[in-house]
Amino acid sequence: MKRISLEQLLKPYQNENYAGQYRRICGLLDSGRIRPVKASGTNGKTPALYREYWLAEAQKNYEELREELMYQLVPLLSVDYYLNHLSIYEQDRKWVLLLNTYLKERRELLEHQESVNERSFEIWNREKFLSREQGKKILKRCGLELDLLNVYGTSEPLSYYSHTRDVPQNLLILENKDTFYSMRRHLQGGNETILGERIKTLIYGAGKRIWRSFQDFELCVESYMKAEGNRIFYFGDLDYEGIGIYESLAELCRDSREILPFVPAYEAMMKKAGQREDLPETKEMQNRNIREAFFSHFTPEYAGAMRRILEEGKYIPQEILNISDF
């Protein structure tokens, strides 16, 4: 129901006399299209009319949509939700019918796996419809699981630099791009080691994005990077978030490969930080729920000193080390 003033109701009839306008309002009242808002009071004329009315919105006839749902969609699509929410079906109809046409005429394409965006464009002509728009909601309302579409997710390709393809080799994941670039320059300058360790491949982790990238590690990298005997290390900021990124990554890869903190780099950070009078304060809103997995790789002295820095609300950025330190 919509509230409307007498003045708005009479606007189409403003050229009529009051008797004619009164008959118009009475006709609307008799038909049930309006009801008076008695609390609004009357207009002070004879015969009197109320100053405001409730306007009944016209009821839509959804019978054609109901029949379409019941008789024109493929059996694979559940219509229960939409039969009970016909107004929502009216909004979703374009997308439901595109899905229906695909399943009716092109279902054999589902035999071949495609990426989420590829399948999305194939069905709805919108590549982000499944990943960022209402595609998953449409599937749910149709009683379908995403698995039916035989899709796979994709991650950002790993950015890495390999000094050599010899195996076995040590690979080093770096949280931040400045350290990645500086260490790459160090190796390209003819150096074989970083902080005393022979590192042959550098991987740019891009913070938490490394979690998604490493889920597809076997697909993303060349064979020498996943060769038997290779060792993988991680080096990031010495703060709650940086440690959490390492611990989550190590847990994620636990069944397939071991990932270790790059201890020489963290120790070098601590030594250099000890030469400074003050350290930056921990960034706000960091998840402080870290475990012992990270600290267990260090001597009790180093582990204790690291904990004290965190407990004091401080942190050491990875960038404390530069090319002259490697």
Domain locations in the chain as residue ranges:
2-55, 63-152, 159-325
Asked if pLDDT for residue 277 goes beyond 80, the answer is no
- Residues of the chain with pLDDT > 70, as a percent, come to 99
Asked if pLDDT for residue 165 goes beyond 80, the answer is yes
pLDDT band per the 50, 70, 90 thresholds, residue 292:
confident
Average pLDDT over residues 151-156: 80
Ranges 29-33, 70-74, 133-137: which has the least confidence: 29-33
Average pLDDT, the chain: 91
What pLDDT shows up at residue 216?
73
Packing angle, helices 116-124 and 86-105, rounded to 10: 100
Q: Residue with structure tokens 């330190």? A: 325
Nearest to 10 by CA among 39, 30, 34, 37: 34
- Residues of the chain with pLDDT > 90, as a percent, come to 75
Phi, psi of 168 (to 5 degrees): -70, 160
Asked if pLDDT for residue 1 goes beyond 80, the answer is no
**In DSSP terms, which residues pair with 84 in a beta bridge?**
none
Rounded Cα–Cα distance for residues 186 and 202 (Å): 11
pLDDT band per the 50, 70, 90 thresholds, residue 222:
confident
**In DSSP terms, which residues pair with 235 in a beta bridge?**
174
Asked if pLDDT for residue 119 goes beyond 90, the answer is yes
Asked if pLDDT for residue 152 goes beyond 80, the answer is yes
Helices (H), the chain: 6-10, 18-31, 63-71, 80-84, 86-105, 116-124, 135-141, 177-188, 209-215, 217-220, 240-252, 263-273, 300-311
What pLDDT shows up at residue 98?
97
Task: Answer for the pair 206, 245: CB distance below 8 angstroms, yes or no.
Answer: no
Q: Which two tokens stand for residue 307?
A: 């904990």
Asked if pLDDT for residue 290 goes beyond 90, the answer is no
Asked if pLDDT for residue 106 goes beyond 80, the answer is yes
Q: Residue with structure tokens 């729920």? A: 289
Task: Answer for the pair 214, 249: CB distance below 8 angstroms, yes or no.
Answer: yes
Asked if pLDDT for residue 257 goes beyond 90, the answer is no
**In DSSP terms, which residues pair with 115 in a beta bridge?**
152
Rounded Cα–Cα distance for residues 72 and 223 (Å): 51
Average pLDDT over residues 48-72: 89
195: left (phi over 0), alpha (psi -120 to 50) or beta: left
What pLDDT shows up at residue 226?
85
Rounded Cα–Cα distance for residues 196 and 325 (Å): 11
Average pLDDT over residues 153-157: 75
What pLDDT shows up at residue 158?
79
Average pLDDT over residues 261-290: 87
Rounded Cα–Cα distance for residues 104 and 108 (Å): 10
287: left (phi over 0), alpha (psi -120 to 50) or beta: beta
Rounded Cα–Cα distance for residues 45 and 9 (Å): 16
Average pLDDT over residues 184-191: 94
The amino acid at 216: D
pLDDT band per the 50, 70, 90 thresholds, residue 159:
confident
Provide the b/e sequence for 307-321 (b: ≥16 CB within 10 Å): eebbeeebbbbbebb
What pLDDT shows up at residue 213?
78
What pLDDT shows up at residue 223?
85
Rounded Cα–Cα distance for residues 225 and 203 (Å): 10
